[in-house]
Structure 1
């Protein structure tokens, strides 16, 4: 019996020592991090909102840490190509992803996804975004209730624009159809820019357009904004009600842009990177730049970002399932 206890004691001691070595190694790795250039993967083309945020914050991170931050655009497969690249990268903190809301929507929309969400560790939510509900000013409609009444009176006759199939705007349009009991035709565009142009040109009867793309046009006399998605009113549009205030709950989830690293990355490195990115977002000049883009600065910690991802994944899946949307 004494021998068995001694053996057990040696095992526990060895395990404790191993854990201590791992913890010490992780702490030392974080102390030395970063010691070489950081690759910041953007899973969308250059010139878009994700790319602009990456370069804006990457420049600041490089200046603060004294290491180059190289933005690497890897578009393709609705963002899955870039997401997968980071998910399968070494967990050393030198390959970082700037992802968007689509990251948690993709598993519900596509049957074949080359990675799991659990392959990525959340680092920091940089900003929140929202979709705005537009109608032509010439329609005379001034509230979401009026628009819904018109759609009910003309089933299948009105359309709504989105900035692409399987995007948040597409899901919001289908969600409104389900919530309000209306029938509208979906008109997808290749991005918010062409969608906004179509709305200004009078080619759409309604549209969900992201606030960043719509921001330069929110004062246009050609359009009216009926509501905004998200839990709070948009700071640039204090007089525009949220979807819930306009009579339709369930649109409280905001879009977001956030940073991720491979799940194998030591937590001290995740925390160090997250704290630095959060501090950059909260710099007055950076916050102003983001606000001027129509975005809402956040700058969260990894612990704050993680539960948001779980809630949003469940939220978007419920909409995809109810609307029977599939991209396969």
Structure 2
């Protein structure tokens, strides 16, 4: 994955300096009148989920700012790869936009074949928000800290639930197993709702769930949070330590929601969209809504998103490789 990291870092440098790199050539034609017609925002997941909610929030305000409709188009399928592929193969004119998530940079390591090249076929635009996973146990499990859970798991076989094979929660579970030397049984669920239901009901011994999905249940009193992924604690969960603070490294990469365009989109179009999304994310009402979803609002530049992808891609790849995870 070293080449992947170099590619993204090279793209980030090119964006900042104006240097043109092979595979990242900007057409010379300026797009000063952009947007001059409706924009299609592809969401590679079903309507009603967190990705869809964020897309509609951003799309509505882009419409208000630019006077051109932003039409959200849900294209679920193949773990997000169907929608990603639509954007990868769209004309690089700024009128087909992708609202992508972390799975974009995990898929190349998980699947033998994907229909596009993540480092070659997309132009990073802006990181909208970060998300972290919580490691939780139902109240029936007698563990109040991560250390207590590890000790308990070593004395008897326990399970952990995830959102499904190849998801961030699955990768985090396998990483914990490797680092702590545990024999946790993986129970893959079909998404967040059924997993949270079993956590609340005590049908699974532990689980990795994102803050957004757990948010509405934090005051239920039916589960305890033992640790959080990422590099820092959440303000709303100040008492919950990060995995690093609990003695486990490698849980630093965060989940994210980001905007991409097809590669070769003119630089001024990328910059205009990036600047406007950053402005929208920093609006108090948008920032508050994202925070209420359990997310950390960002609104980054295109260069910052390119650098993040370059940094995190090999980290996820290392987890996949060490855990010997391979999906069809």
Q: What's the RMSD between the two structures over aligned residues?
A: 1.2
Deviations 1:301-325 (Å, cap 9, x if unpaired)? 0011101101111000000000000
- 1:25 is displaced (CA, Å) by 4.9
Equivalent position of 2:198 in the other structure: 198
Deviations 1:220-256 (Å, cap 9, x if unpaired)? 2110000000000112201100011111111011000
- Could you tell me whether the CA contact under 8 Å between 1:80 and 1:113 is conserved in 2? yes
After superposition, residues 52-67 of structure 1 pair within 5 angstroms as 52-67=53-68
Equivalent position of 1:249 in the other structure: 249
After superposition, residues 103-122 of structure 1 pair within 5 angstroms as 103-117=104-118, 118-122=120-124
Q: CA separation of 1:234/1:315 partners in 2, compared to 1, >3 Å: closer, same or farther?
A: same
Equivalent position of 1:143 in the other structure: 145
Equivalent position of 2:286 in the other structure: 286
After superposition, residues 123-162 of structure 1 pair within 5 angstroms as 123-154=125-156, 157-162=157-162
- 1:26 is displaced (CA, Å) by 3.2
Deviations 1:85-108 (Å, cap 9, x if unpaired)? 000000000000000000000000
Give the distance between the partners of 1:122 and 1:298, measured in 2 at CA.
14
- 1:78 is displaced (CA, Å) by 0.4
Deviations 1:153-182 (Å, cap 9, x if unpaired)? 11xx20000011100000000000001111
Deviations 1:257-315 (Å, cap 9, x if unpaired)? 00000001011100100010111000000000000011110000001110110111100
- 1:138 is displaced (CA, Å) by 2.5
User: Does 2:36 correspond to 1:35?
Assistant: yes
Give the distance between the partners of 1:216 and 1:23, measured in 2 at CA.
44
TM-score by length of 1: 0.91
Q: CA separation of 1:24/1:312 partners in 2, compared to 1, >3 Å: closer, same or farther?
A: closer
Equivalent position of 1:82 in the other structure: 83
After superposition, residues 1-328 of structure 1 pair within 5 angstroms as 25-27=28-30, 29=31, 31-117=32-118, 118-154=120-156, 157-328=157-328
- Could you tell me whether the CA contact under 8 Å between 1:26 and 1:268 is conserved in 2? no
Give secondary structure in 2 for the equivalent of 1:236: helix
- Could you tell me whether the CA contact under 8 Å between 2:27 and 2:264 is conserved in 1? no
TM-score by length of 2: 0.91
- Could you tell me whether the CA contact under 8 Å between 2:229 and 2:252 is conserved in 1? yes
Deviations 1:17-72 (Å, cap 9, x if unpaired)? xxxxx989533x1x100000000000000011000000011101100010000000
Give the distance between the partners of 1:271 and 1:251, measured in 2 at CA.
31
Give the distance between the partners of 1:210 and 1:158, measured in 2 at CA.
21
Q: How many residues align?
A: 303
Q: CA separation of 1:25/1:321 partners in 2, compared to 1, >3 Å: closer, same or farther?
A: closer
Give the distance between the partners of 2:216 and 2:115, measured in 1 at CA.
37
Structure ID, larger Rg: 1
Give the distance between the partners of 2:70 and 2:59, measured in 1 at CA.
6
- Could you tell me whether the CA contact under 8 Å between 2:143 and 2:152 is conserved in 1? no
Give secondary structure in 2 for the equivalent of 1:44: coil
